[in-house]
């Protein structure tokens, strides 16, 4: 991941969808990393359904505040 992006959340699918929607509502475009889907597409088996959400460094503080209010 580009060093201009920071991870603001690591968790399950349902929480990830809620956070992505909320971030989009305040004009923050998150980047989602889904390692289990990447592994599946490459033909590997994985049981981890966790996802990572990254935001640009400039939007990190605002995104963290939003996520704290949601969880």
Cα distance between residue 52 and residue 38, in whole Å: 13
For the segment 55-65, the average pLDDT, to the nearest whole number, is 96
The band of 71, judged by pLDDT with boundaries at 50, 70 and 90, is confident
DSSP class of 9: E
Alpha helices in the chain (DSSP H): 13-25, 35-41, 60-70
For the segment 10-21, the average pLDDT, to the nearest whole number, is 93
Residue 40 scores a pLDDT above 70:
no
**Which residues, at least 6 apart from 6, have a Cβ–Cβ distance to it below 8 Å?**
54, 55, 56, 57, 60
The band of 49, judged by pLDDT with boundaries at 50, 70 and 90, is confident
The band of 8, judged by pLDDT with boundaries at 50, 70 and 90, is very high
Please identify, in words, the CATH class of the domain defined by 5-70. Answer: alpha beta
């Amino acid at each position: 991941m580009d060093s201009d992006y920071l991870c603001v959340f690591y968790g399950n699918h349902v929480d990830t969808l809620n956070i992505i929607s909320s971030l989009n509502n305040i004009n923050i475009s998150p980047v989602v990393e889904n390692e289990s889907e990447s592994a599946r597409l490459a033909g590997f088996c994985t049981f981890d359904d966790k996802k990572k959400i990254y935001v640009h460094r400039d939007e990190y503080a605002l995104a963290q505040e939003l996520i704290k209010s949601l969880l």
